[in-house]
Structure 1
């Protein structure tokens, strides 16, 4: 196991090793000259005026001046490949020309009226959006963020069913309002305030780190190397996790009564965690049998990101009762939605309910433009093809470096879990921070996630190319290589070793 060290010491470990910086893919876009505050002033103003909980990424944060498709440019004009997409939010590309054009025309015509008046944008967009959903999911309520959407979904579930208790999966993330903090099941995102009234967190069916699961248990081009005895399409691990879910119904809920179960189709903040096959389908059947609704959180997995389907839940063979969506829906513009059936939506008429900015003319114009770009540019197909290629290339890195414990995901919803040893002990924060910092210095922006912050989150704008995927793998390979170099220099406690060497 690695000794605990500081970020500063981790940086010193690798300082004396040269790193080959791969050549970036070509980009002909020329950013505008930066005319804002100088770096030191911005740091001082941030510390003085922004809430201290708003922390910047990287030891030396970068100043973003401009974006173009998959590229970001800092205040000095340096170019970065954005493989995190503004935290899984930029879907079709930074400042996509069609989206910019639509937004500009609408903002010059009408910014805001609120939905107490009729306006074509909200009606046209609602029709286009619901056409993308299966079954009777035809009624939409527009809001501004994923947290808002999940908060409203909690209210809808309790009103419609007349039940109170809600189930969510451990390691899931559903927002940071006072209510959604309750269904979020990660201690790192929890304050010491009452938030869990009627909320039950159930065992997460994780094939990599959970009690059960292995190499045949998840729907991904890349499987965990953990062994399992599953045959064909049947997953024994799912049955065991389902038994744990039944235990919660048996011992913790009012008999036959539950309001809802919330589940991301692939856990995002939790580290791109996928579930065992058919778990969500069996869980939905149990929820329905006890009077509840299944709420699919598509905030990160929607709009073609998983490649094979437009919605992540489609990969689980289910049709939810409620779908929440945000992030990629507006390509970075504040926009979110709750979609449900006419029958369920009726419950909100029991009292006045209103959102001032929900269905804003500019937001709806942008949302519709995003849908059109996804169709016109075959973004979902690109997500599948490039994503599968990238996953397979990352799998080769896993076969090369012992520090990579797992590669997983679908489409461009990818996680790479870094570990210290064969027991999959999470890689320490200092080394994780240095790896991400080195990637940034070489022009690659990736995120971190997971309960222990040891998962590289790769979820870029869905316009990336095969060349971008190759660059990503080369940069990550070179970053890990510095640790392998050090391990050969009389420091055996650092085990970033190349396999078969």
Structure 2
């Protein structure tokens, strides 16, 4: 690994352009870690033709990353290759979806084997892979969470969880958190509380958005509040074993019950274990547990959205909700469940599952044989290759590396947060006010990382958070390369600012 910028911090509130120029002139660009995979020759339509097809035949709301969008044609574990053969380290995992590695050979083999036997029947018939997979998946969950309904996406899973909670409790009102993302299907879209994802159409009747307990950008919280190897630099009055911010945010949740709901009646409460699209936001310690208690006291069900945090991504536990010390009534999961294959699931208790018997409910592709074979292979790879342990070790290492960059460039790197390989880096334009970095400046840094071979996600309400959720097979060498490239991009940005 090549270390850059030894010595004192170079980017404080008063930028020293001369010092930056001197350091950058002696900087060695980090070398990409080796990869023994040789991609095949690209044989599709040329880049210009693909752009034309996109413009003419793809809906315009499907936006591509980067000024010059990548045309990717092959993947291998943590690596992606574009049409020219250029290699990229994928630190976003297909939007937190590629869990065990692009084209993992064991997963590929399972899918191909099933494809050669049986593609599709639907659940009107039994087939072995669905039942094998249902048994293996529910074995990963605690308590009475033993009944699964397979669907095809996280939006479908959360949609069904909302229906299930209303059918079971015979209550109507739903609570979700501001800044949370739970999908774009019309039924569940109301629970998504980010203005950038909401259309000007009627939706969300009976859904209430509680204050988001964000200890970095929110009203309360700071350096003692998160369950993370890296704490916020924001000062707070909390003690290490006592989070006042939790109590204050919980008080705001109580207000929703006091003023917005029928007394003693709620159908369900949705919460991501760590908010994903919203910018890898972590809640204060103890908040989710207290939230679950008040929801249940008012007749509701607690729904953990594990679409991004499940399957060992957070490192210490297999499911993100386990870090909060809770057992939900319903768990939704997708993305990493199939390593990129369209697959999702809702797991609940037998009693709650019976509530769907009030009417017919059917999903044509839910439990598809190829999907189930793929999902079962993913579970086996997670266990055999110990990807959860790797997420913890590599993720903690990367978080600490990123925290050092934050400390060196506090005027631009406001916060580093997360657990395992569920990481967010919030870029700001002012350290004290925590003002989100403006999009043109963010894009300068983001684009440079891409140009130097590192693909990072983007999230948060203002699009100023780097979302780092790579395939869980990455190594510490890969993590160091990504951190070094990010540090180089930040330093070069700091130099440009100093020149102005």
- Equivalent residue for 2:47, pick from 14, 31, 39: 39
Are 2:391 and 1:371 equivalent residues in the alignment?
no
Equivalences for residues 407-446 of structure 1 within 5 A: 407-422=416-431, 423-446=433-456
| In 2: Cα distance, 1:66 partner to 1:436 partner | 22
Number of residue-to-residue matches in the alignment = 475
User: Aligned to 1:456, what secondary structure does the other structure show?
Assistant: strand
Contact 1:20 1:478 in 2 (8 A): no
User: Aligned to 2:220, what secondary structure does the other structure show?
Assistant: coil
Contact 2:215 2:225 in 1 (8 A): yes
**Alignment match, 2:462:** 452
| In 2: Cα distance, 1:176 partner to 1:241 partner | 27
**Alignment match, 2:483:** 473
User: Aligned to 1:405, what secondary structure does the other structure show?
Assistant: strand
Deviation at 1:232?
3.5
**Alignment match, 1:403:** 412
- Equivalent residue for 1:245, pick from 253, 260, 269: 253
| In 2: Cα distance, 1:443 partner to 1:341 partner | 45
| In 1: Cα distance, 2:33 partner to 2:195 partner | 39
**Alignment match, 2:492:** 482
- Equivalent residue for 2:80, pick from 72, 89, 93: 72
- Equivalent residue for 2:99, pick from 88, 91, 95: 91
User: Aligned to 1:307, what secondary structure does the other structure show?
Assistant: coil
| In 1: Cα distance, 2:294 partner to 2:28 partner | 54
| In 2: Cα distance, 1:157 partner to 1:278 partner | 24
Offset from partner CA, 1:179-206 (integer Å, 9 cap, x none): 1110000000000011120000000111
**Alignment match, 2:149:** 141
Deviation at 1:20?
4.9
| In 1: Cα distance, 2:233 partner to 2:416 partner | 10
**Alignment match, 1:464:** 474
User: Aligned to 1:414, what secondary structure does the other structure show?
Assistant: strand
**Alignment match, 2:225:** 217
Equivalences for residues 171-320 of structure 1 within 5 A: 171-320=179-328
| In 2: Cα distance, 1:314 partner to 1:166 partner | 23
Q: What's the C-alpha RMSD, in Å, of the aligned pairs?
A: 1.1
| In 2: Cα distance, 1:275 partner to 1:193 partner | 30
User: Aligned to 1:295, what secondary structure does the other structure show?
Assistant: strand
| In 2: Cα distance, 1:387 partner to 1:253 partner | 40
The TM-score normalised by the length of structure 1 is 0.94
**Alignment match, 1:360:** 368
Offset from partner CA, 1:29-83 (integer Å, 9 cap, x none): 0001000010111001000000010011000001001000000000000000000
Contact 2:444 2:493 in 1 (8 A): no
Offset from partner CA, 1:102-150 (integer Å, 9 cap, x none): 1111101111111110100000100000000001000000000000000
Deviation at 1:21?
3.2
User: Aligned to 2:148, what secondary structure does the other structure show?
Assistant: strand
- Equivalent residue for 1:330, pick from 338, 342, 348: 338
The TM-score normalised by the length of structure 2 is 0.94
Offset from partner CA, 1:450-491 (integer Å, 9 cap, x none): 0000000000000000000000011001111112222332x1
User: Aligned to 1:383, what secondary structure does the other structure show?
Assistant: helix
| In 2: Cα distance, 1:340 partner to 1:263 partner | 16
**Alignment match, 2:401:** 393
Deviation at 1:447?
0.6
Q: Which runs of 4+ in 1 moved over 3 A?
A: 17-21
Contact 2:445 2:493 in 1 (8 A): no
| In 2: Cα distance, 1:175 partner to 1:62 partner | 25
| In 1: Cα distance, 2:234 partner to 2:261 partner | 34
Contact 2:175 2:209 in 1 (8 A): yes
| In 2: Cα distance, 1:431 partner to 1:43 partner | 26
| In 2: Cα distance, 1:156 partner to 1:233 partner | 37
Contact 1:182 1:196 in 2 (8 A): yes
